[in-house]
Structure 1
Amino acid sequence: MFLGRIRRSASSPVELVALRDGGLVSLADLGTDDPVALLDSHGLERLTDEVAGRPVVLDEAAVLFEPPVATCTKICCLALNYAAHAEESGMEVPPEPVLFFKPPSSLTGHNRPVEAPARTRHLEHEVELAVVIGRRTRDLPEERWLEAVAGYTVINDMTARDLQLVNIARNVPWDQSKGFDTFAPAGPYLATVDEVPDPQALELVLEVDGEVRQRANTKQMVFGLPRLIADLSDGMTLMPGDLIATGTIAGIAPLQDGDTMRATVQGVGTLVNTVKFRSA
């Protein structure tokens, strides 16, 4: 099942929908716009039956997409989790997962613009598979990793590369270069676990105006999902709606004002966003 959060117009309330037969089924009467909470309260099987009995009432092209999670306390991002990306960045593959955070305020939805602040002139894309946490999780062993997962979505880890490299050279934190508003576009949907039987065998592709910039497979991760969830939950509570961005692949490159990015994760979805430079 693919669950999304949309508005029918800019002034409309957020509404929960499910994708079916190429259109959208409204779930607005179920009392929440939070897909993670709804999965928890109804269960996947019951919710699947609920969606099957409802008519398609909306067109994807006619709605405004919000991020696919209603509540998110943190976006946990993994750096250098693909060897080829570490190589192109001139860095070694880390012996342990390397974590940084994006604030929830950096989230934006499908078909929304990514707006680079005037302080940066060098913006880059980073397509990634994101794990959506479904339950309060702490100290979860690797073999039970799937207990934490509500589903998956696509995330584009936008980066002000000029600001990041300056801070790396100064040996100071570079989170700001990753955390501006709109720098975590995600969606369009939360794909439930039944839609993704093997998250470690998914093709990742990032296109800019039709040109393929990034292409690889999640099987090439340095640290897979069991290790990542066990590592992140070791002493830190993961909350429902939190996102784990599992790292990008080789092929990062600069963007220009007006470029349109298509970030695709096989079986999960295609996230489209256009770049706007405030300096332009």
Structure 2
Amino acid sequence: MKLLRFGDVGQEKPGILDAQGNVRDLSGHIKDINAEFLSSEMFARVQDMDPASLPLVEGDPRIAEPVSGVGKFICVGLNYADHARESGMEVPPEPVLFMKATSAITGPFDQVQLPPGSQKSDWEVELGVVIGREAKYVSEADAMDYVAGFCVVNDLSEREYQLERQGQWVKGKGCDTFAPIGPYLVTPEDAGDVENAGIWLELNGERVQDGTTATMVYKVPFLVHYISQFMSLQPGDIISTGTPPGVGLGMTPPKFLKEGDVMRLGIDNLGVQQQSVIRYAK
């Protein structure tokens, strides 16, 4: 099942993709795709519905982030050995965790705004894990029971803010529009083998990231287990699991985003995003 949200900002409705790739309206059955829905019996009922029985959404509506009201956005750093190497860092003996501001979340086709004065904004395609029920001190063996589904994440990063401005990485990660998510929340039975999936990003038509989730150091079940030892994971929380090599910081010379750039990115079975880059303007 591929769930999504559609509509203008502030007026989004829940939807589901049918077998032909058409958007169907779920708003007659649920209010939104959020923590309440993901942790309810209705989540299972929707999976049993025939999407073709739902109203067809006409036209070409905006596709929003597939989960509303995300409580926590937890990211894993340096989780691909080859990306750690291009960043000049060692693979950590335990996962590196940091938080991304939920105010950075935006739709998968919305514009990305560079902060005023930014010179080192960078791209990072990542596999996102959406939590479906409270996970607290869970075992690795049981971890997938707490996962509602998966999504594509662009974990944009302002490298000067992240690495040169003192303190933790969060400064470079939480800028507004720096977390496009979606287009879908894909349930595990339709996501395929997320630990052996192609993951890629193109900048202005050139493929700069072209990897596989098989090279993740710490896999999804371990990450859910590990993070739940430090904080409870709540329905609707998102874990972004790290990026493969090919980011601008690792190029020689480094290459960063500028106004007018276009990013296109995707993961096998989870869909494709695209964002154009603009400068922030009041």
Alignment partners' CA distance in 2, 1:161 and 1:275: 16
Report the equivalent of 1:235: 230
For structure 1, the residue ranges without an aligned partner over 5 or more in a row are none
Q: Cα distance, 1:196 vs. partner? A: 1.8
Query: What is the TM-score of this pair, normalised by structure 1?
Result: 0.92
- The alignment's C-alpha RMSD in Å is 1.8
Report the equivalent of 1:5: 5
- Does structure 1 retain, via aligned residues, the 8 Å contact 2:192–2:269? no
Report the equivalent of 1:49: 48
- Does structure 1 retain, via aligned residues, the 8 Å contact 2:16–2:51? no
Report the equivalent of 2:261: 259
CA deviation profile, 1:165-185 (whole Å, cap 9, x unmatched)? 213xx4x22311110111111
- Does structure 2 retain, via aligned residues, the 8 Å contact 1:80–1:247? yes
> Which of these residues, 168, 171, 183, is aligned with residue 188 of structure 1?
183
- Does structure 2 retain, via aligned residues, the 8 Å contact 1:107–1:181? yes
Report the equivalent of 2:271: 269
Alignment partners' CA distance in 2, 1:10 and 1:108: 9
SS at match of 1:28: coil
- Does structure 2 retain, via aligned residues, the 8 Å contact 1:259–1:274? yes
Query: What is the TM-score of this pair, normalised by structure 2?
Result: 0.91
Q: Are the structure 2 counterparts of residues 50 and 42 from structure 1 closer, same or farther at C-alpha, using a change threshold of 3 Å?
A: farther
- Does structure 2 retain, via aligned residues, the 8 Å contact 1:191–1:268? yes
* Counterpart AA for 1:6: F
Q: Are the structure 2 counterparts of residues 53 and 270 from structure 1 closer, same or farther at C-alpha, using a change threshold of 3 Å?
A: closer
Q: How many residues align?
A: 273
* Counterpart AA for 2:199: L
CA deviation profile, 1:92-121 (whole Å, cap 9, x unmatched)? 110000001001111000210111110311
Q: Cα distance, 1:35 vs. partner? A: 5.3
> Which of these residues, 79, 82, 103, is aligned with residue 80 of structure 2?
82
Q: Cα distance, 1:55 vs. partner? A: 4.4
Q: Are the structure 2 counterparts of residues 264 and 82 from structure 1 closer, same or farther at C-alpha, using a change threshold of 3 Å?
A: same
Q: Mean alpha-carbon deviation: is it higher for 40-49 or for 268-277?
A: 40-49
Question: Counterparts in 2 of 1:117-196, with a 5 A limit?
Answer: 117-167=115-165, 170=166, 172-196=167-191
* Counterpart AA for 1:22: G
- Does structure 1 retain, via aligned residues, the 8 Å contact 2:24–2:52? no
* Counterpart AA for 1:268: L
